[in-house]
Structure 1
Amino acid sequence: MINIPNIQQLITKLKQGKTIIYPTESVFGLGCDPDCKIAIYNLLKIKKRSWKKGLILIAADYTQLIRYIDDSNLSKIQKERAFSTWPGPITWVFPARINNCSHWLTGKFSSLAIRITCFEPIKHLCLEFGKPLVSTSANLSGYPPAKTLKEVYKQFGYKIPIMHKNVLGRPNPSEIRDVITGKLIRK
């Protein structure tokens, strides 16, 4: 029998440094506490992903991201570029606040990818947790991202706690753009 955790059980797992799986706008995501290096390390190990690539933080609102990014040198136009798409499925790469941001999050970069979600289940999860979540697609490296619970179980089995909600239904993972240049990084 599958144990279907409620939101408080998922929060408890996050606070214990565990990885969880949750639906996003287009695919299921693997997530953990962005302030727990062991949790990030384990998430990368589960996914079989190199730390060098960096990760995304997904949040309920901008205030949850302030401690991880440095927006002090961004112009009003650069900030408006990102804010005009949020909340929503666009991920923006911001300069990282290096003192507060582990290399496990940024990878080999001095920047951090961030997104403010409009998807209520994740927004609620971030608000209840009190901070953003690490967000990377739920798939083993080299495999397609899981879009259904069946695909999640096929790739990861039944050991990782899962938020049992459907993905929002967008056809592709979030677009990624650079906040400084506006350049498209991933379509």
Structure 2
Amino acid sequence: MKPNPHTLAVAAGDTLVALRRVDQLGVVNGTQLTVERVKVARLTKTVTVTARRGNDIIQFTPEDISDGKGRVRLTNGLVSTIFRSQGATVDQAFVLLNDKFDRHDSYVSASRARGDTRYFCSKSIDASIRASSGEFHSPIDDVQRLDYLAKRLSRERVKTTTLDLIDVAEFAKAHLKRERDRRKELSHGL
């Protein structure tokens, strides 16, 4: 299976995020790097990136930060998912909404910015409105979009854990019995 070919154009001033741990460079998944310089050797065409990691300057080649399949594990640092951005704070946030967002997702995306958070709608919103209403040919206006988003973004999806799926009292009773049997077994000396 061939890796998905993707070119990430990089220039001085770009913000990148490392997607894997590389101890020699002092980066882990999520480390932000600001590109200072990109140099291509004339003869070998080897690319060397000089970047700022916090207050430190590091140099690396794409091979230094690639995985076992040769994929360079860097991404654009200006674009992120709401899950990767949890705990991060930025000056401004631009959020592309889709019909999968709920109350939790909208809160997380809104709370990332010190200043403005601007929401944009994906075209998939119109398709979702048509599918839920059954009106496949009528035009959709902004009032319908806002009404649909208000309903979607206010819904709450309760997260479940494995403890929600078992009878905790029954599990505790069985565990206590196993512990008693085990102690009894261990108390018999050889």
TM-score range, shorter chain: under 0.3
| TM-score normalized by the length of structure 1 | 0.25
| TM-score normalized by the length of structure 2 | 0.25
Which of the pair has the greater relative contact order for Cα pairs under 8 Å at 6+ separation? Answer: 1
Q: Which has the larger radius of gyration?
A: 2
